[in-house]
């Protein structure tokens, strides 16, 4: 995936993450850490939160993979050459 494609996809994922962050009142990074450490197990009994948490986790993990790919690519490129400059009309 090209850098600009990664940026677009990450922004789309961030919009989806924002919906969960606003609904549950915590940032995705904190949610993910709590979920992975087992601190949210008591919510497994609730169908809505279990489904939401599963989707939220998946979206966040996809965002993390895209972020890692972006970071790896950007470190090996000249930023001036990577910029997609488009003319203003």
Q: Widest CA span of the chain, in angstroms? A: 55
**Residue 7 counted as domain residue:** yes
**Residue 29 counted as domain residue:** yes
Phi, psi dihedrals of residue 3, rounded to the nearest 5°: -55, -45
Dist. CA 11–CA 5, nearest whole Å: 10
**Residue 82 counted as domain residue:** no
Number of domains in the chain: 1
Would you give per-residue pLDDT tens digits along the chain (89 residues)? 889 999 999 999 999 999 999 999 999 999 999 999 999 999 988 888 999 999 999 999 999 999 999 999 999 888 877 777 776 66
- Give burial (CB, 10 Å; 0-12/13-18/19+) of 63: buried
**Residue 36 counted as domain residue:** yes
Could you give the residue ranges of the DSSP H alpha helices within the chain?
Answer: 3-24, 28-36, 47-75, 79-82
Structural domain for 55, as ranges: 3-77
């Amino acid at each position: 995936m090209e850098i600009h494609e990664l940026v677009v996809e990450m922004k789309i994922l961030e919009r989806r993450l924002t919906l969960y962050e606003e609904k549950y009142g915590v940032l995705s990074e904190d949610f993910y850490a709590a979920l992975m450490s087992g601190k949210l197990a008591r919510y497994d009994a609730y169908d809505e939160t279990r489904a939401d948490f599963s989707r939220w986790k998946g979206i966040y993990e996809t965002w993390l993979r895209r972020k890692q790919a972006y970071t790896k690519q950007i470190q090996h490129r000249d930023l001036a050459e990577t910029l997609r400059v488009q003319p203003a009309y």
